[in-house]
Amino acid sequence: MAIRKKIIAGNWKMNKTSTEAKTLVPEIQEKLGKFDQAEVVICPPFTALQTASEALGTHSDIALGAQNMHQAASGAYTGEISAAMLRDLFCRYVILGHSERRQYFGETDALVNEKAKVALKANLRPIVCVGETLAEREGGKMEEVVVSQTKGSCAGFSEEDWNNVVIAYEPVWAIGTGKTATPAQAQEVHALIRKTLGEIAGKAVADKVRIQYGGSVKADNAKELLNQPDIDGALVGGASLDAASFVAIIKNGSEK
């Protein structure tokens, strides 16, 4: 059984200016201190990446990630950002297919898959998001949705690619609502995703790929969620905007 190092990422969404990032990043670093129990990632908006990158410095225990990218290498795509632009700012990760991108910007599994492959080629590690809506869950479609999003968004990755892929299970009904999936509910879906990975890429891949949970993760529920056997980390929204609460999640979530 592969040992999967926990990965806890903060998705700032459309919050924090570059000026605000200049104080928030050092605050997180100071509160976290030297830390190697889990991999920590922050994903500021594009406009704060440069500042965050400079504040983190070159040997930081905290990695930098972006929240989206365009699939083309360059060209006439007004308002878009390429993988190379993110790498140039020392981003290591990129969140792809977040439910807000799927819902408000029409992103499909096929597009998420295309972006993920471009990211991997550029040495960016995709955090591929999947998750069902409340209507889908209540309509008995949770399994179907999560399995088809996982298969569609992660189609055609090579063995080597899988070393650099993270999946995030974010039930849409738990995002920003204060309604967290119970640890048992989350574990059930994480196990389903891992089973699906086994089917599409084999047991070795299923054993090593990390699957984060996202949706109203807070300091007081992080430990119980992250102690589930198939939950390998968290993708934190609102609670990552405050240094104290983000660091409390990181520390509580890494406790055995």
The amino acid occupying position 19 is T
237 near ligand 13P, rule: CB under 6 A: yes
Q: Helix, strand, or coil here: 233?
A: strand
Residue nearest to ligand 13P (CB): 237
238 near ligand 13P, rule: CB under 6 A: yes
Residue choice 11, 196, 245, 254 for contact with ligand 13P (CB under 6 A): 11
Residue 168's DSSP bridge partners are 129, 212
The amino acid occupying position 175 is I
- 98 part of the active site: yes
Report 200-219 residues binding ligand 13P (CB under 6 A): 214-217
Q: Report how far residue 227's alpha carbon sits from residue 254's, in angstroms, rounded to the nearest whole number.
A: 8
235 near ligand 13P, rule: CB under 6 A: yes
Report 163-202 residues binding ligand 13P (CB under 6 A): 170, 175-176
Report 70-99 residues binding ligand 13P (CB under 6 A): 98
Burial (0-12, 13-18, 19+ Cβ within 10 Å), 175: buried
- 138 part of the active site: no
142-153 and 109-121 helices, crossing angle to 10°: 40
Residue ranges binding ligand 13P (CB under 6 A): 11, 98, 170, 175-176, 214-217, 235-239
Q: Which residues are catalytic?
A: 98, 170
